[in-house]
Chain A
Amino acid sequence: MATNTTDSKRSVGWMGLHRGHKARPMEWLAEKFIFLVSLSAILMVFLIFIFVLREALPVFLGQTDSTAAIKAVPVEKMDTMSDAELIEYLAVTPSEFKAMDKETIKILMEVRLESEKESPTDKDAGINTASWTYLLLPYQWTGYEKPEYIWQPISQIHKYNIIPLIIGSLKTTIVALLFAVPVSLGAAIYVSQMASPKLKEWLKPTIELLAGIPSVVMGFFALIVMATVFKAVFNYESRLNAFVAGIALGLAIIPVVFSIAEDALTSVPRSYTQAALALGSSRWQAAWQIVLPAALPGVFAAVVLGFGRAIGETMIVLLASGNASIVSWSFFDSTRTMTATIAAELAEAVFGGHHYRILFMLGTILFVVTFLSNLAGDLIIHKLKHKLEGKR
C-alpha cells in the first residue's frame, strides 16, 4: 500500500482517477488538452516543411518538364491515349478534364497542333531546363559565346540556373555580417561590461527598438536615402547593389546579434570579472581576455543566428539590391537574391507550373539553411548556459 501512494503522487493516472484520491477527470482532460495545444509549435514547423516541400518535390525528383518545344500528337490518336496522358498533354486539371466532352477535347488537341507550329524551333527549345543539370551547371545557350549561369524564367526558353541567385544571397549576407557583427559585438561588450546599470537599462531597449522598424521601411530607407548617399560617397556605377542592400540588411540584424551576444556576455558569472579586476587587470582586459573567451560560443551563436536572419530577409533586398541576376563577386554590382526572386516572381508564375515549383524549391532551400543555422545556434547557446551554470 505504501508504494501505491507514492506512485499515485508522482503521476496523474488515467482520467485523474486514483484509489484513495478524489476523481478529477476535468483536471486530467485540461492537462492533456494543454499538452496537445502546446505541440502546435512542433506541428507548424513540420507543416511548413512538408507543404513547401510538397510543391517543390517534382523539381527535386526531376519530374518537371519545361521543354519549350511542344511535341504534337495527331488528333486521330486521341482514342489510344489514356485519361492521364490526355490531362498531361492538354495541360488541364483533372476536374476540368471531367467537365469536358469528346468534342471539346478534340478542339483542344487541334489548338495544340496549331500552337506547335508557332513554338520555338532552335536547338535549346528541346531542352528540359528544369532538370538538375540546367539548374546548377553553366550552359552555352544559343547566341552566347561561352557556357554561362543564366536565370531568365520569363523568356521564350525558360532559363532556371539558380547559381546567380545563391551567389546574390551570399553576397548581401556577407556584407551584412561584416558590418553588423563588429558593431553589435562592440555594443554588446559596452552594454554588458562597461556601462553602468542605469545606462544599461536605457541602452538595451533603445538598441532593440531598431528591431521594431519593419523591414519594408528599412528597405524604403535604403532605396531612397542610403543608395543616394552611398553613391555620392563611394562613386560606384549602379545605384542599387549588394553593398547598399547588405548594409541595410546589417542594420536589420544588429538587434538580433546584439541581444544574443549581450545575453551570452551577461550570463558569464560576475565572479570572473571580479577575480580579474582584483588581480589588477583593467575593465577592458577583464572583458576581452576573461569574459569574451568564456562567452565565445554565445557570440558565435549570435553570428550564426544573424546569418540565418540575413539570408532569409526579403523586403530589404527586394527594394535595395537592384535585382539583376548577374554572376559576379563584386559588391558594387546590382544583384538578385533567392528571397527577392520568390517575392517578385511568384505572383506571375503559373500555379503548379515549373516556374512556380522552382520558386518553391528556392523556398525549401531557404527553409533548410535557416533551420540548420537556427538549430546550430540553439544548441551552442544551450551548451554554453549549461557550462556556465554548472561552474557556478
Chain B
Amino acid sequence: MDTQTPMLKFTPPQEGKDFKARSFDFWSFFFSGLTGLATLLILAILAVILLNITIHGAPGLSWRFLTAGADKEMFNVDTAGVLPMIVGTSIRVILMTIFVIPIGVITAIYLTEYAHNTSIWTRIIRGAVNNLAGVPSIVFGLFGLGFFIAFVGTGIDENILKSPEPLWGKPAILWASMTLAVMTLPVVIVATEESLKAIPQGLREASLALGATKLETIMKIVLPQALPGILTGGILSVSRAAGEVAPILFTGAAYSMKDYPHALTDQFMDLGYHVFILCTQSPNIEQTRPILYATVLALLILTFALNIVAILVRAQMRRKMRLLGH
C-alpha cells in the first residue's frame, strides 16, 4: 500500500479495486479541494457584491434619475439625479485620455521597437513604470495638489497672468485629469506593449526588406496592427480612472455645483466622489439608501461595461494572433 516508493518495489497494477486504491491519496484530494474552494470563494464574493448592488440599485436607476439636472436637492430621494456627476466624470476621463494615450503609446513603442532589452535605460524605464503602477492613489492626489496646483497653476497665475485672484492655482478639472493621466500611464504602456509584442516579427522584416524605413514600418505596419491593443489600454485606463476618487479629492472634485463645468479651470461633480458624499454626508442614511445604491450601480455599470469590452477586444486580438501563427 506504500505509494511513496514505487521505484523500489515495482508491483504491476492489477485489475480493478487495488489499482484505484493505490492511486487515491486522501491529502492530495483534500488540498486540491481547498484550492478549488478558494477559487469558488472569490467567485462567490464577486457574485454577491454584484448581485447585491444590482438588486438594490436597479429599482432606483430610472431615466429620471439619470437625467435630473444639477439644481435639484442632492439628498431628496424623489428629485435627486446624477446627470451632472456623469457629465463631470466623462469630461475628466476624456481629457485624461488625450494626455495619457500619446505618451503611453510612444513609451511602449520605444520599449518594444527601439530599446535593447538589456540596456540600462530599458530597465530603468520598466522599473519606473512598475513603480508608478504601485504608487498609492492618495499620493497622486497630493502630487496633483503640490505640483499641478501649487507649482504649475500658481506659477502661471503669478508669473504670466500676474493676477491677484487665483485662476489656475486652484482645483480644476484640467488638473484632476492630468493627475489621473499620470496615474493611468502604466496601464496604457503595459497594454500597448503587449499588443506590439504580439505582432509577428516577420511583418516588420518584410516591410524593412521592401525598403521602408524603421519609422515608416512602425507608422504603417506595426501601429495599425496594434490598434486593438492600444484601444484596450485606453479602455482599461478609462475604466480605472472613472472609479478613482482619492486623486481628485483635492485636485478638482466639487461637493456640489449649480452648473456644469464650462472651462478647464472649473471644478466638477464626480460620480465616485458622489458615492462617497452619499455614504458620509447624508442626513439620514436609511432614507437616502435607494439613491446611494442607484448611484453605485451607475458607477459600476460605467466601469464594468468598459472592463468587459476591454476583455472581449483583447480575447479577439489574441485569437487573431493565434491565427497568424504566432
Contacts and interface: CB of A to CB of B under 8 A. Distances in A.
Given A41-B128, A212-B303, A367-B136, A35 B53 contact: no
Contacts of A313: 136-137
Contacts of B246: 215, 314-315, 339, 343
A37 B106 contact: yes
B158 A95 contact: yes
Contacts of A343: 138, 141, 246, 249
B54 to A, nearest CB: 12
A254 B25 CA distance: 30
Nearest to A342: B138
Interface string A328-363: 000000000001001100110001000000011001
Interface stretch (B39-47, B69-77, B200-208, B221-229): B39-47
A352 B108 CA distance: 38
Contacts of A216: 243, 245, 272-273, 275-276, 299
Contact of A312 (B25, B125, B138): B138
A360 B114 contact: no
Nearest to B136: A312
Contacts of A363: 138-139, 142
Summarize B's interface: helix, strand, loop or mixed. helix
Given A38-B107, A214-B299, A225-B52, A315 B276 contact: yes
Given A205-B311, A212-B304, A374-B130, A314 B125 contact: no
A279 B121 CA distance: 45
B300 A186 contact: no
Contacts of B268: none
A288 B135 CA distance: 33
A27 interface: yes
Interface residues of B, number: 91
Contacts, number: 263
B195 interface: no
A315 B141 CA distance: 12
B31 interface: yes
A284 B32 contact: yes
Contact of B182 (A44, A183, A309): A44
A30 interface: yes
A213 B49 contact: yes
Contacts of B275: 216-217, 220
B148 to A, nearest CB: 9
Interface in A248-287: 251, 254, 258, 279-280, 282-285
A203 interface: yes
Contacts of A225: 52
Interface string A56-99: 00000000000000000000000000000000000000010001
A43 B299 CA distance: 32
A45 B131 contact: yes
B272 A38 contact: no
8 tightest A-B contacts by CB? Answer: A214-B243, A312-B136, A186-B38, A38-B110, A284-B28, A190-B35, A212-B307, A282-B28
8 contacts: A38-B111, A48-B139, A215-B244, A218-B49, A223-B279, A283-B32, A343-B138, A346-B141
Given A47-B143, A186-B38, A339-B246, 12 more contacts: A41-B185, A41-B186, A48-B182, A51-B143, A51-B146, A52-B142, A183-B38, A216-B272, A220-B292, A221-B53, A282-B25, A313-B136
